[in-house]
Amino acid sequence: MNIQLYNKSVSNIKADISIEFFTSKNLSKHPNTKTLNQAGFKAEQDSICFLHETKILACGIENNDSDNIRSVISVAIKELKSSNYESASINIDKKNIKAIIEGLVLGGYEFNNYKSDAKEIKLQDIYLVCEDINRFTDAFSQAMIVAEATCFTRDIVNTIPHDLNPPSFAKLAKKLAKENNLKCKILGEDELKKEKMQAMLSVGRASIHDSKLIHLTYKSTNPKKVITLVGKGLTYDSGGLSLKPATSMVTMKMDKAGGCAVLGIMKAISELKLDIEVHAFVGAVENMIGGDAYKPDDVLVSRSGKTIEIRNTDAEGRLVLADVLTYAQDNVDADYIFDFATLTGACMVALGQYTTGVMGHSAKLKHLVKKSADKSGELTGSLPFNKHLKKLLKSDIADISNVSSKPYGGAITAGLFLDSFIKDQNKDKWLHFDIAGSAYTESNWDCNVYGGTGAGVRFMTNLLQNI
């Protein structure tokens, strides 16, 4: 699908259909009000109505907020892709261009890599019509970069574990580095052993695929800030010997979504050419069962030297992140540290399916994230740390347990586990994002379709643009 900017004065824009927005207030003022009323169109949010004779696709919105525009465009593009129209036009302004592009690109996203007979789509061209093209060029370019980076992330999340394992994840990172002029360093298992990353290595011990630590670096000429991004890259999670139920194992290709988001963010910021330095670390591991699998009752020695009692091998992501966070802090003196992980089902219980959980010590930093999330159209919710939940991670035989002794506040206790591997001088620089609910969906919502959503890419890119 080709999305293009056009000046209104250009006379040769002849789209097959025009997309127009209607609220309940302006519906009565339109020349086609009578026809729309006869069709039962009431301009409710996300309602649409084709007026084929007048070549109009009417889109209902509650008001002109970006969230409403993006949502209804996501509905409209799906319907247009199912039609026989080959082109469509939309009038845009500065306030809605980003929302329209996200609705078109993200709402129209499809992942057909494994379909032998994907449906042919006749829709080819979308014309974004404006008064002065020069005023919109930068906004158009930036919105397209972020939307396409989000789709890039979705593609990786949706790739099956047979095709995307730790070595192929590393290969993908190298390809991204080459295309976007990034530095790339890969640590294999020999290097991980030298770095004493036994927690991470133990999780991947039963897999036939070697675990990999991916380190990507983007550096502008005069960086104003240094940022570290850390992603959980569990290319598949069977639960290990604490085996997941069969129904819970389906969709576990999405357990790499944190690592995928980190790669997507690197793609976006390098193409936006932001004046910052960013280091991305992904712990790429596969958690499987086998004779060499790590076990409940094991005590692992992490890279930091802290010992971890294993009570559940399905709480594996935090073990990988513990070592990767330690490695990242030892190798980069960052102004900010952000980690992304599909860490706990408990986060979904606490905040619902659509919201990313935010944890950390700095209220100021959490406020900045909330502001960026609101601007980008992603949902975030803060989950508070407290000293009483921290006590539930106490172990009688090691420094810390990998799971809480009580089944409450699971998302927070997982965050507190990670917090124990954050150095004191970095406590106020760090935030943990639990994307377990927001990273994958099996039903359409907003601009998200079945599969990976690319959670984290839009709000973190916005934050890094303004930080």
- Residue of 70, 232, 267, 318 marked catalytic: 318
Packed helices 97-107 and 133-158: angle between N→C axes, nearest 10 degrees:
30
For this structure, is 122 an active site residue? Answer: no
Task: Give the separation between CA 170 and CA 428, rounded to whole angstroms.
Answer: 31
Task: Give the separation between CA 104 and CA 3, rounded to whole angstroms.
Answer: 9
Query: Given this model, what pLDDT does residue 8 score?
Result: 80
For this structure, is 303 an active site residue? Answer: no
Query: Given this model, what pLDDT does residue 219 score?
Result: 98
Task: Give the separation between CA 46 and CA 118, rounded to whole angstroms.
Answer: 26
| Domains of the chain, first to last | 2-131 (3.40.220.10), 146-466 (3.40.630.10)
Task: Pick left, alpha or beta for residue 388 (phi over 0 → left; psi -120 to 50 → alpha; otherwise beta).
Answer: alpha
- What does each of the 467 residues of the chain score in pLDDT, given as a tens digit? 899 999 886 556 789 999 999 999 999 888 999 999 999 999 999 999 999 999 999 999 999 999 999 999 999 999 999 999 999 999 998 899 999 999 999 999 999 999 998 888 999 999 999 988 999 999 999 999 999 999 999 999 999 999 999 999 999 999 999 999 999 999 999 999 999 999 999 999 999 999 999 999 999 999 999 999 999 999 999 999 999 999 999 999 999 999 999 999 999 999 999 999 999 999 999 999 999 999 999 999 999 999 999 999 999 999 999 999 999 999 999 999 999 999 999 999 999 999 999 999 999 999 999 999 999 999 999 999 999 999 999 999 999 999 999 999 999 999 999 999 999 999 999 999 999 999 999 999 999 999 999 999 999 999 999 98
Write down the pTM of the prediction. 0.97
Contact yes or no for 72/21 (Cβ under 8 A): yes
Task: Give the separation between CA 277 and CA 220, rounded to whole angstroms.
Answer: 6
Pairing of strands 87-91, 125-130: parallel
Task: Give the separation between CA 381 and CA 354, rounded to whole angstroms.
Answer: 10
Query: Given this model, what pLDDT does residue 10 score?
Result: 59
Query: Given this model, what pLDDT does residue 216 score?
Result: 99
- Residue of 55, 78, 244, 306 marked catalytic: 244
